[in-house]
Structure 1
């Protein structure tokens, strides 16, 4: 096995964990199955992570970070605020439709964390990360458009995070692409109304 910096090894293990959890489920994922997927020994896992809990936390951060980075890098001013907001939602939505198993995994990770004693803080951290990401996105969109929202940014971020969370789960359950597109349009309208008044 080639020597690799620990940060790179951690990334390798997180990516393997996401693949295994998406395939087998969170409860059935073990450190051994993650190591097998990554092609590393169990000692490498213990060198990189203190526990399965630390690995799950890193997996949540990785999944969320991936789609947040994608949306943030794609946000650019459009002709109107509504078009800017809708384009940002569309970029997120492309990630949902491209990687539904990862998004399904986020819900499973939440449920797992809430049910397993000692893991509850992971669910809270996951949703705090969603709100922090939504806050950064709202601030970026408002700065690009040169607008000051009429409601607090934190409130807008919570509305956005809740709407996206519900839309994603509904799509994963129902698979109705037309309804999802309509709901994204309505969500964009609502966010613009909250920003502009």
Structure 2
């Protein structure tokens, strides 16, 4: 059965609200995104925000969860092209080379991690996304003979997050990939 025009409009408005949230989080910071600001950016009235979502927090949570799933999915694709664990480390770090730590995507992750420390539901969702990513990475590492694949996947994923966080704080960053290659070699 085809989607009704009203349902299509509703879906389109929800998508605009989620896209506006993804733009606003790195621009203003999580706590500065209000109903009015979100509605203005999405081109709707403030009442429409609360028609589609119970709160601004719900919009922000759904937006970042979708964004994080997509971003980590791209990293997984990069890993699938690696033939060896060392190539996987190189591929993982190459995939984040375009991020400065202060770019919008990095800021979305930082803001989401910070918000998750104060929001149990968001924390559970982010933990699930990261756990799924680490689980698939762990399986890849195990299939390629890396000892302690669970711990190795956790350390490598955390190292990437840490590198991006440090990049955002400025200063020259030494190559982490070389050190991390030793974990999997």
User: Where in structure 2 are the equivalents of 1:74-89 lying within 5 Å?
Assistant: 74-78=78-82, 80-89=84-93
- Match for residue 165 of structure 1? 161
Question: 1:152 Cα shift?
Answer: 4.7
Gaps of 5+ in 2: none
Question: 1:6 Cα shift?
Answer: 3.9
For 2:56 and 2:82, locate their aligned partners in 1 and report how far apart those are by CA, in whole Å. Answer: 43
Gaps of 5+ in 1: none
- Match for residue 138 of structure 1? 138
Q: 1:28 aligns with which of 32, 35, 38?
A: 32
User: Where in structure 2 are the equivalents of 1:59-74 lying within 5 Å?
Assistant: 59-74=63-78
For 1:122 and 1:5, locate their aligned partners in 2 and report how far apart those are by CA, in whole Å. Answer: 27
User: Where in structure 2 are the equivalents of 1:178-197 lying within 5 Å?
Assistant: 179=174, 182-190=175-183, 192-193=184-185
Q: Cα deviation per residue 1:97-140 (whole Å; 9 max; x = unaligned)?
A: 4972221232233334435xxx243234324422322222332x
- Match for residue 126 of structure 1? 126
C-alpha RMSD of matched pairs (Å): 2.7
TM-score normalised by L of structure 1: 0.75
Question: 1:79 Cα shift?
Answer: 5.1
For 1:64 and 1:102, locate their aligned partners in 2 and report how far apart those are by CA, in whole Å. Answer: 9
TM-aligned CA distance change 1:15 to 1:185, over 3 Å: farther
TM-score normalised by L of structure 2: 0.79
TM-aligned CA distance change 1:95 to 1:11, over 3 Å: farther
- Match for residue 11 of structure 1? 15
Q: 2:170 aligns with which of 171, 174, 196?
A: 174
